[in-house]
Amino acid sequence: MSPVAESIVCVECGGPAGLLTGFPPDDPPMPGDIVAYRCADCMERFDLVVDDADLEDD
């Protein structure tokens, strides 16, 4: 499982946007990496920058 969110809420339509970017176990995401999401409803794509807060344990 990736330490970044597997899905987010689409800011365009409110639908679910799933993670498109995968990371191998031996190369986890780092701050500054780009992750992509695509909304299942409107098909909008979102490219987000990983920051330190994304990688913190809840």
**Model confidence at 52: pLDDT above 60:** yes
Range of the domain at 39: 7-55
pLDDT at site 57:
65
51 belongs to a structural domain: yes
Spell 7-37 as b/e; 16+ CB within 10 A means b.
ebebeeeeeebebeeebeeeeebeeebebeb
pLDDT at site 22:
87
1 belongs to a structural domain: no
List strands edge to edge, sheet with 16-19.
7-9, 16-19, 34-39, 45-49
19 belongs to a structural domain: yes
**How does pLDDT run across 7-49, given as a tens digit for each residue?**
999 999 999 999 998 888 898 899 999 999 999 999 999 999 9
Number of structural domains found in the chain: 1
pTM comes to: 0.83
Average pLDDT over residues 1-10: 84
2 belongs to a structural domain: no
